[in-house]
Structure 1
Amino acid sequence: MESSEESLLHPLVDDLPCPVIQYADDTLLILRAKRSQVCRLKKILDLFSQATGLHINFHKSTFVPVGGVPDDLATDLASILGCPVSSFPQTYLGLPLSDHKLPASALEFLSVKISKRITGWCTSLLPIGGRLTLTNAVLSALPSFEMSVLPIPRGTLAKMDKPRRAMFWKEKEKCSGGDCQVAWDYVCRLRSEGVLGVTDLGLQNT
């Protein structure tokens, strides 16, 4: 990425270009927290807009300082671009992105997504075979995208199992232990073992 003056520099290695990860409508740039670098980036983005007619929405963009950048410097650099200062974890392509290990709270949305799907279903007349099909084909498949990228903590997997278990036994998004006729670990064993074969989310994640 170059302008008519100098190229943007890699944040760690001088003779490498600025890292850019780009998708259809998302671009992630990693550069040094220096005023000259950010001014250069802004100029390049403005030149890009002028050349292509594609205007960047800086209000929907975020400036995320990494590595102990002082607050006043971060605010100054963000003002050059015209975007707000933010912090990790960030949502990027539908996934939480962080420079450290993701906290469990960043993955709470997975169990919520499963519960919300059950709420919209009319399941009171479904036989157990129909509930098994919905549990495996729909509820177990909902976190597939996230599982293809992220290792899901055990605690989060347990929270995701709660609405799946409730759907299977009570046709609802919540149930108590007394509503479950068989231990969930047993239900998740393979059909080749003579059990129901409900998807084991931990195994699916692996």
Structure 2
Amino acid sequence: MLFTLVIDVLNSMLLRAVDLVLLHRLTARQAASSISLYADDVVIFCHPDSHEISTVRKLLPVFGLASELHTNFTKCSATPIQCTDDHIATIASEMQCPVAHFPITYLGLPLSIRKASTTSLQPINDKLGRKLSTWRASMLSKGDRLSLVRHVLCAIPTHFLTAIAFKSTAIKKVNQIIRGFLWAGSK
């Protein structure tokens, strides 16, 4: 919660930069934000314009001085979304951090500018399989298995579903894995 309170200052700084016309809104919607937060990961969205990228690059050290949360640009990456080669060159020179290209994996989610294919969703099945390999379903009561299904196995696909629309075949495969664990070989 403390991180959320502190990181809200960064969001306020970005919104103030928009008010001062140092940054431009990405959309016309009033509530549109240019920042996304998850745990200690921060994603800042901006236009691939040298002025805007430079502004973001200058705001981060100011935020670091105020909060003691300094940005390590060697661990950061810039990921252009449908940008030209000129934009990519500008981003690389202004941000001075590695440039990643789509598709990428962020927080375990395969991100792409196209709809996710069934094969790109295979990591979900693999993750569920790894979780199940450490549990011995037959040694757990039905109530214990149900609790694990509800609180762990269903949380993994839910995390993915917050960002990606699954195809029906992928959902069926996930359900098959979960049902197989819950019933532990019983018909």
Asked whether the two chains share a fold, i.e. TM above 0.5, the reply is yes
SS at 1:41 equivalent: helix
Q: Contact (CA 8 Å) 2:137, 2:182: kept in 1 or not?
A: no
Q: Identify if the C-alpha distance between structure 1 residues 18 and 76 changes in structure 2 by more than 3 Å, giving closer, same or farther.
A: farther
TM value normalised by structure 2: 0.66
Q: Contact (CA 8 Å) 2:116, 2:164: kept in 1 or not?
A: no
- Code of the aligned partner of 1:38: I
Aligned to 1:151: 165
- Write the distance in 1 (CA, Å) between the matches of 2:25 and 2:169: 38
Return the offset for 1:156.
1.1
Q: Identify if the C-alpha distance between structure 1 residues 168 and 42 changes in structure 2 by more than 3 Å, giving closer, same or farther.
A: closer
- Write the distance in 1 (CA, Å) between the matches of 2:81 and 2:163: 22
Which deviates further from its counterpart, 24-33 or 107-116? 24-33
Q: Which has the higher contact order (CA 8 A, sep 6+)?
A: 2
SS at 2:69 equivalent: coil
- Write the distance in 1 (CA, Å) between the matches of 2:98 and 2:115: 24
Aligned to 2:115: 101
Q: Identify if the C-alpha distance between structure 1 residues 19 and 98 changes in structure 2 by more than 3 Å, giving closer, same or farther.
A: farther
- Residue number among 148, 153, 167 corresponding to 2:181 in the alignment: 167
- Residue number among 122, 130, 142 corresponding to 1:116 in the alignment: 130
- Write the distance in 2 (CA, Å) between the matches of 1:40 and 1:136: 46
SS at 1:7 equivalent: coil
Aligned to 1:133: 146
Q: Identify if the C-alpha distance between structure 1 residues 60 and 102 changes in structure 2 by more than 3 Å, giving closer, same or farther.
A: farther
Q: Contact (CA 8 Å) 1:63, 1:84: kept in 2 or not?
A: yes
SS at 1:28 equivalent: strand
In structure 2, list runs of 5 or more residues that go unmatched: 1-13
Return the offset for 1:93.
4.9
Q: Specify which structure has the higher proportion of helix.
A: 2
TM value normalised by structure 1: 0.61
Q: Contact (CA 8 Å) 2:63, 2:69: kept in 1 or not?
A: yes
Q: Contact (CA 8 Å) 1:8, 1:18: kept in 2 or not?
A: no
Q: Deviations along 1:34-75, whole A, 9 cap, x unmatched?
A: 2222222212222222333321122232211122421x5414
Aligned to 2:78: 63
Backbone CA RMSD of aligned residues = 3.6
| Larger-gyration structure (1/2) | 1
Aligned to 1:194: none
SS at 1:59 equivalent: coil
Q: Deviations along 1:90-140, whole A, 9 cap, x unmatched?
A: 44455444333223333222111221122112234557x468636743534
- Write the distance in 2 (CA, Å) between the matches of 1:26 and 1:156: 27
Return the offset for 1:160.
1.7
